[in-house]
Chain A
Amino acid sequence: MSDMTLGGSHLDASWFLILSAILFTLGAVGVLVRRNPLVILICIELMLNAVNLTLVTFSRQLGNLEGQLFTLMSITVAAAEAVVGLAILVDIFHTRDVEDIDELSEMKG
């Protein structure tokens, strides 16, 4: 992995990727173990942003703008997704008080 210049100092690109991996894992574990719907939504956002970070890193390293464009796209989609997800949650909270997402498992096979 080649060096990258960031504010005058050199940083190895792998640091960014490691951070991104840690953030992604945190998000994934959060989705798996937490039960509050709101927290799960936040964890999903965390995973998305970890991916965005990876994209920007590679974009910078390869000197190619496609990764950054893709990140902008991803942020847009994430915003839309958050709106939809939150709207669904608000609607559910209107009808009943849900603290545990497992209470919403009504469509059993």
Chain B
Amino acid sequence: MTASQVTLLLLLFPASGAILLAGRGWRLPRIVTAIVGPGVVWASFVLTLVLFSNQVKGDFTYWTWIKSGSFEVPFNLLVDNLSIFMCLVITGVGGLIVSYSVGYMEHEDGPSYARFFTYMDVFIFSMLLLVLAGNFVFLIVGWALVGLSSYLLIGFWYQRRSAVLAARKAFVMNVIGDVGMILGAFILFMSYHAVTYAGVFGVINHCRGALLCLGPGDTPELELAAFLLLVGAVAKSAQIPLHTWLPDAMEGPTPVSALIHAATMVTAGVYLVGRMHPIYDVAVYAHGAVAIIGAVTALFAATIALVQTDIKRVLAYSTMSQIGYMFLAVGIGAYAVGFFHLLAHAFFKALLFMAAGNVIHAMHDEQDMRKYGGLLRQLPRTGGAFLIGSLALVGVIPLVGFFSKEQILGAAFSRGDPLALSVWVIGAATALITGFYTGRMWWMSFAGKPAPERPVEHPHEAPAIMLVPVLILAGLTVVGGFIQTRALGIGPSVVSDYLASAVGHMNWEENAGAVVAGLVTMVLSTLLFFAAYRFYVERTWQTWSANLPWAQRLLERKYYFDEIYDGAFVRPMDAIATWGAKDVEGPVLDGAVAGTGHLAVAAARGLSLTQSGYFRNYVLVFVGGAVVAAVLLLIRSA
């Protein structure tokens, strides 16, 4: 089998699984659903491994999708080290999470069970299409399809009003991003007359080679396109200001939060900036905006996470914060480092979400951390895995989170210009806050005495199908960091070397100061992790928020973003819609439609007077007409 056929098959496995489950799933026995759902993802994982081990590279064109004059859209898939890397994350972590769902969704009835795996397979297919697409049109198709599957999965429990509202919010926010993407791709097509990556990037690289577009102002159309693509990336990755959907998306089942809203889909924005790096290398303003948005979101989300009480919402805000780090990395031009953090985050955040899922399962769907307490003794494996994930999130050496996060901060520190230094300051501050809120989450849930209002007295550890994926990810979190230890200034850099052919090298050196700064940050945030024990378990220290009630309120209200958007967009739109329904639709639109009907009836009534039914009248008209015609002829000939 050729490489192009393997690549196509990689896409077709999840698609066929979704089609089978959608068409026959409700009639199939549950065991078949439980095998087909994760099975097709694992099949894709094996095919990805085949491509990976054979070091396949290529731009495979399968057929021409649209051809109209000079506008030609091929269906082509781009296989390079970046797309293989993303496929490995999607199918590998995705396979673990979909397998975990087999246990987590056990309580659903047959049709819902099959529906869940249908949506999951649709998502895997869409995400693979997104990262494998070789042109902007199919990139947007995949981009919109992951938004759709996210919508379907957030609203999976459609009987719950809050889930439906959250799904709608996510969809609307994502469509704002889709519009940005489409406009950006349109501008690129108008400027470079190509929709394939090869075509567009070829022109840009040629332009750079000829020293025509090097700095700001040389290519305003590229800046505009880069900003519009950034709108898409920001919406999909839940960065400020299009971030409000992600915390609400926690209404979906926990495996969905792990797969879509932590490990894969929300990192699509990072993939986009990395894939578009020839554009962002030229469009310096847009590139700087990526770094600033990332840094601000990282800090902003981390502060909100300080006061959340719902365990999944803490994780959601920490996801926003960590994706902020990735944006920061790709925004300063350290693309490969950003992707290393993407990989690390996929490991430890999927681990955290699935471990949280085990806790929620054991607590009979209670998600409020204040009602947990002392769970480590009863859920030792989940608690231990959760601790590993938490420490990786904090960035404790030698877990994978330390190496990836500190390398991002080190890259920013080493670049040394004002922009990089300011995002480094924000990033380092965020790392400290991360240590504190992660500590708060872990200690509140697993340490101390059981809370008096805990719903389950003697919780049970999760079954094997839900425990094994968590433990596998815990293992990966522990050992994953050793493939790239550049944060310490020594050792291998496997991910960066692998991705260098797709996204290039960093064009500056990391200096020793960055290593020292990284170790200091790590030590401080670890201390804060343990300080949280004093605050929230022993309560020997008074909670900081007791002294700052206004700050607590500001954070609990999430900086009033929802209220501001409600006032600025939702209510005016509601008012316009209500006015339109009352004063425009009735009198104007209905009036026009009904008026056309009335006019036709009146005209017909008038004309029907001529149909007397008397033979004489008809003859008279006929003769009269003949006479008139004769007279006219006479006048003309005269």
Q: Which residues of A contact B (CB under 8 A)?
A: 28, 31-33, 40, 101-102, 104-109
Mark out the residues of chain B between 591 and 616 whose CB falls within 8 Å of any chain A CB in the assembled complex. 608, 610-616
Q: Are B608 and A101 in contact (CB under 8 A)?
A: no
- Bound CA–CA A102/B616 (angstroms): 8
- Bound CA–CA A28/B620 (angstroms): 9
Contact of A31 among B610, B612, B614, B619 (CB under 8 A): B619
Give chain B's interface residue range (CB within 8 Å of chain A).
10 to 19
Q: Are B619 and A109 in contact (CB under 8 A)?
A: no
**How far apart are B625's CB and chain A's nearest CB, in angstroms?**
13
Q: Are B611 and A105 in contact (CB under 8 A)?
A: no
Q: Are B614 and A102 in contact (CB under 8 A)?
A: yes
By a CB distance below 8 angstroms, the chain B residues around A104 are 615
Determine whether B32 belongs to the interface, using a CB cutoff of 8 Å to chain A. Answer: no
Determine whether B623 belongs to the interface, using a CB cutoff of 8 Å to chain A. Answer: yes
Interface readout for B606-638 with A: 1 if CB under 8 Å, 0 if not? Answer: 001011111110011001000000000000000
B609 closest partner in A (C-beta): A109
Contact of B619 among A32, A105, A107 (CB under 8 A): A32
Q: Are A108 and B611 in contact (CB under 8 A)?
A: yes
By a CB distance below 8 angstroms, the chain A residues around B623 are 28, 32
- Bound CA–CA A101/B620 (angstroms): 15
Please name the 3 residue pairs, one residue from A and one from B, whose CB atoms are nearest each other, closest first.
Answer: A109-B611, A105-B613, A108-B613
By a CB distance below 8 angstroms, the chain A residues around B614 are 102, 105
By a CB distance below 8 angstroms, the chain A residues around B619 are 31-32
By a CB distance below 8 angstroms, the chain A residues around B615 are 40, 101-102, 104-105
- Bound CA–CA A25/B562 (angstroms): 90
Known: A32-B616, A108-B612. 9 other contacts (CB 8 A): A28-B623, A31-B616, A31-B619, A101-B616, A102-B616, A105-B615, A106-B613, A108-B611, A109-B613
By a CB distance below 8 angstroms, the chain A residues around B620 are 32
**How far apart are A102's CB and chain B's nearest CB, in angstroms?**
6
By a CB distance below 8 angstroms, the chain A residues around B613 are 105-109
By a CB distance below 8 angstroms, the chain B residues around A32 are 616, 619-620, 623
Residue among B608, B615, B619 facing the most chain A CB atoms (10 A cut-off): B615
Q: Per DSSP, are chain A's interface residues mostly helix, strand or loop, or mixed?
A: helix
A44 closest partner in B (C-beta): B619
- Bound CA–CA A109/B613 (angstroms): 7
By a CB distance below 8 angstroms, the chain A residues around B616 are 31-33, 101-102
- Bound CA–CA A43/B297 (angstroms): 99
By a CB distance below 8 angstroms, the chain B residues around A105 are 612-615
- Bound CA–CA A104/B612 (angstroms): 12
- Bound CA–CA A101/B619 (angstroms): 13
- Bound CA–CA A109/B619 (angstroms): 17
Pairs across A and B, CB under 8 Å, 9 listed: A28-B623, A32-B620, A32-B623, A101-B615, A101-B616, A102-B615, A106-B613, A108-B613, A109-B613
By a CB distance below 8 angstroms, the chain B residues around A101 are 615-616
By a CB distance below 8 angstroms, the chain A residues around B612 are 105, 108
- Bound CA–CA A32/B624 (angstroms): 11
- Bound CA–CA A28/B616 (angstroms): 11
B616 closest partner in A (C-beta): A32
- Bound CA–CA A105/B618 (angstroms): 12
**How far apart are B161's CB and chain A's nearest CB, in angstroms?**
58
- Bound CA–CA A33/B619 (angstroms): 10
- Bound CA–CA A104/B614 (angstroms): 8
- Bound CA–CA A32/B619 (angstroms): 7
**How far apart are B203's CB and chain A's nearest CB, in angstroms?**
70
- Bound CA–CA A68/B620 (angstroms): 30
A25 closest partner in B (C-beta): B623
B608 closest partner in A (C-beta): A109
**How far apart are B631's CB and chain A's nearest CB, in angstroms?**
15
- Bound CA–CA A106/B619 (angstroms): 17
- Bound CA–CA A32/B611 (angstroms): 17
By a CB distance below 8 angstroms, the chain B residues around A31 are 616, 619
**How far apart are B623's CB and chain A's nearest CB, in angstroms?**
6
**How far apart are B618's CB and chain A's nearest CB, in angstroms?**
10
- Bound CA–CA A31/B618 (angstroms): 11
- Bound CA–CA A40/B618 (angstroms): 14
**How far apart are B437's CB and chain A's nearest CB, in angstroms?**
84
**How far apart are B226's CB and chain A's nearest CB, in angstroms?**
70
- Bound CA–CA A36/B347 (angstroms): 104
- Bound CA–CA A40/B615 (angstroms): 11
Residue among B610, B611, B614, B616 facing the most chain A CB atoms (10 A cut-off): B616
**How far apart are A73's CB and chain B's nearest CB, in angstroms?**
21
By a CB distance below 8 angstroms, the chain B residues around A106 are 613
**How far apart are A48's CB and chain B's nearest CB, in angstroms?**
15
A108 closest partner in B (C-beta): B613
**How far apart are B630's CB and chain A's nearest CB, in angstroms?**
11
- Bound CA–CA A109/B605 (angstroms): 10
By a CB distance below 8 angstroms, the chain B residues around A108 are 611-613
- Bound CA–CA A107/B614 (angstroms): 9
**How far apart are B94's CB and chain A's nearest CB, in angstroms?**
72
By a CB distance below 8 angstroms, the chain B residues around A33 are 616
- Bound CA–CA A102/B614 (angstroms): 6
- Bound CA–CA A37/B623 (angstroms): 18
By a CB distance below 8 angstroms, the chain B residues around A28 are 623
**How far apart are A55's CB and chain B's nearest CB, in angstroms?**
17
By a CB distance below 8 angstroms, the chain B residues around A109 are 608, 610-611, 613
**How far apart are A39's CB and chain B's nearest CB, in angstroms?**
13
Residue among B610, B611, B613 facing the most chain A CB atoms (10 A cut-off): B613
By a CB distance below 8 angstroms, the chain B residues around A102 are 614-616
- Bound CA–CA A33/B610 (angstroms): 19
